[in-house]
Amino acid sequence: MKQLLKTLDFTHFVVKEFVNAGDTVIDATAGNGYDTLFLAELVGERGKVFAFDIQQKAIQSTEGLLREQGLFPRVQLIRDGHEHIEEYVKEEVSAVMFNLGYLPGSDHRIVTQPETTIKGVKAALTMLSPGGVITLVVYTGHPGGQEEWPFIEHYVKSLAKNNYRVLLYKFLNTDKSPFMVAVEKR
């Protein structure tokens, strides 16, 4: 039976359309490493993934997953917040993925923050090549996500339509389902 894609599956579907072998990309929130792994597969042997997370547990989980799959050489893991991506990434990127909220299986009080997320998105837009994409998976089922979303929504709605196209992928009949925002740079 056919059905609409879940938010994370749709996010991967979108990003796949923008990334080619040999590209440089960013996972702004490495978490348990699944998006980093996905990106490492997309960029191939000549590509590069920069993966950021503030929690050592996330960096270790991501490293373990990448080593297990033989893809660790394609990735630079950085224990720092996504608001500092410009300090580490000096080249243009074709995609940046944000998966907001908290690290599953960890302290739920450690969550992404509106100020640092907006700073990270602004930095990502300056690095994004024309024809590139930024995705943000937003979880409003926890208080931090409810606080963060209005800031993100306000910011992406303010982007000049001549320079960016902004998409919202959201199931409207569920209150706590994650949803995705994609920003395409023209």
The domains of the chain are located at 7-185
Residue 107 has pLDDT above 80, yes or no: no
Task: State the pLDDT at residue 153.
Answer: 98
For residue 110, the model assigns a pLDDT of 80
pLDDT digit string, tens, across residues 144-183 = 889 999 999 999 999 999 999 999 999 999 878 999 999 9
By percentage, how much of the chain surpasses pLDDT 70?
Answer: 100
Question: So what CATH class is 7-185?
Answer: alpha beta
Mean pLDDT of the chain: 95
Average pLDDT over residues 32-61: 97
Within 10 angstroms of residue 13's Cβ, the number of other Cβ atoms is: 11
141 has pLDDT over 90: no
- Is residue 106 scored above 90 in pLDDT? no
Percent over 90 (pLDDT), the chain: 89
User: How large is the average pLDDT for residues 101-108?
Assistant: 78
For range 83-108, the mean pLDDT: 91
